[in-house]
């Protein structure tokens, strides 16, 4: 019984850490996509600046969510929606007709 309780408590502690890791990893991937787009010319400098501001806004929301020591399911869903939008925006900018000059 004690062993089962210990396993459940350890699993419960891992869930928030895993969720935060996913958020952080996704942010890193999106930054790399922006950098790659600038490097290959598919994203202009102005577009990159806008996309980076969007990433900054997501980071601020993550910090705000963590400020009370716990990220709620609602906060996590909000951050996920923001990251989904940021990902779509990166895709759109990489595949639009504009090229860097």
Q: What is the extent of the structural domain holding 50?
A: 24-94
The verdict on residue 75 lying in a domain is yes
Tell whether 44 is covered by a domain.
yes
Which residues of the chain are modeled with pLDDT < 50?
Answer: 14-15, 17-18
DSSP helix, strand, coil percent of the chain (3-state; round to 5): 80, 0, 20
pLDDT tens digits, 48-63: 999 999 999 999 999 9
Asked whether residue 16 is assigned to any structural domain, the reply reads: no
Q: Is residue 57 part of a domain?
A: yes
Let me know if residue 10 belongs to a domain: no
* Residue 15 belongs to a domain: no
Structural domains counted in the chain: 1
68 within some domain: yes
Domain assignment present for 40? yes
């Amino acid at each position: 019984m004690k062993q089962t309780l210990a396993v459940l408590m350890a699993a419960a502690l891992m869930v928030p850490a895993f969720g935060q890791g996913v958020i952080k990893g996704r942010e890193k991937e999106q930054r790399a996509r922006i950098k790659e787009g600038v490097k290959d010319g598919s994203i202009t400098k102005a577009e990159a600046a806008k996309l980076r501001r969007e990433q900054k806004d997501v980071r601020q929301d993550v910090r705000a969510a963590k400020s009370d020591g716990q990220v709620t399911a609602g906060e996590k869903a909000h951050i996920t929606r923001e990251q989904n939008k940021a990902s779509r925006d990166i895709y759109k900018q990489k595949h639009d007709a504009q090229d860097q000059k």
